[in-house]
Structure 1
């Protein structure tokens, strides 16, 4: 019998290999509770990052103060600040100390649209409210203070519910946005997963090498 859509996902859901968890997050519901109100997001796009085996991962070179949340336990939220401009939110998965996580790239606001609009007043359409990782965290009010939040524990302000998973036939894969890797990320790590034809999925942007000036202005790498 299928699980109720509004039932919370158990920690065992996240305690699996990152390439199993990532596509299985599509269609799940991320609930954000705060003093301002409640927002529910249906996840439509993610990217997988696999720690020491993945040059694109923040944890590729080991643990640092910035990426320590990636090392588990599973089911926690890893939030980082990037390019001196915005936050990105990830869900930690796999066994503890494995340092794998799934970046939440985009989603559909299914509850709390008015609140999301106050945080994203420049969005022209509702589909743009969480269309991209920075827009997603802005719309939901997720910031660095949420790093390490246990999404499997009630009352923490971030929970993941069963929702209605996207059928495998409707899931597409491709290279991760803005990431390079051996042989090119498109060839070696096609770990971006998204719901086919969903208007909230973000446009794909290939990796662009950064100049020294750009690097100096960006956040330090993990």
Structure 2
């Protein structure tokens, strides 16, 4: 976050198309976090789209709204951090305010602050950030304090103009939603083909 810059109320990029389309566009963009130890980050190589009230795998399925998932209902570009089995995961809210769709950042190819991330994870190589929980652990994020902030006006940022264009994007069903009926098989997971950091 740049000091002296007026805070954004939303980021129109995240409502510029369908959530699955935006999920693909995020691949190759640079994700960074201003950690207490220094800047960390890398190229986004894997995402998953969650389509809101219609999507039985989504946190806002059938309009479910709680204090925990409130960021999904926020303006486009809102930070949504949540925990599963003691691990923190990172989402960005997509679509206009009140439309609770989101994109899970599943993996990055680390490029910035690798030493910091290795210290946080006590791992190295592809195991450093090849999964959503691993990514957040590498960043050193273990709370939800940034929820409701906007990417770019937070310590978290996705640099839309700093991109490593993927040679080929592949898609598959999402991970960990096998019990969600027809939504379990929808191809809403996107990843950079051949990248070793894909989970």
Q: What TM-score results when the alignment is normalised by the length of structure 1?
A: 0.79
Q: Which has the larger radius of gyration?
A: 1
Structure-2-length-normalised TM-score: 0.88
SS in 2 for 1:144: coil
User: Superposition pairs for residues 1-222 of structure 1, below 5 Å?
Assistant: 11-16=11-16, 17-61=18-62, 62-83=64-85, 85-121=86-122, 123=123, 125-142=124-141, 143-153=143-153, 156-162=154-160, 163-167=162-166, 170-180=168-178, 181-183=180-182, 185-186=184-185, 189-202=186-199
1:52 shift after superposition: 0.4
CA contact (8 A) 2:43 2:164 kept: no
Structure 2 vs 1, CA of residues 184 and 74 (structure 1 numbering), >3 Å: closer, same or farther? closer
Distance in structure 2 (CA, Å) of the matches to 1:177 and 1:58: 15
Tell me how large the CA RMSD over aligned residues is.
Answer: 1.5
1:76 and 1:152 in contact (8 A); partners too:
no
Check conservation: 1:166, 1:195, Cα contact below 8 A. Answer: no
Q: Is the 8 A contact 2:40 2:117 kept in 1?
A: yes
| Secondary structure of 1:91 counterpart | strand
d(CA) in 2 for partners of 1:40, 1:102:
18
Deviations, residues 134-173 of structure 1 (Å, cap 9, x unaligned)? 00011112232222221132xx211110222534x60000
Structure with greater strand percent: 2
CA distance in 1: counterparts of 2:40 and 2:52, whole angstroms: 30
Unpaired runs of 5+ residues, structure 1, are 1-9, 203-222
Gaps in structure 2 of 5+ consecutive residues: 1-9
1:24 and 1:165 in contact (8 A); partners too: no
| TM-superposed deviation, 1:182 | 2.4
SS in 2 for 1:109: strand
Retained in 1: the 8 A contact 2:38–2:113? yes
Aligned residues: 185
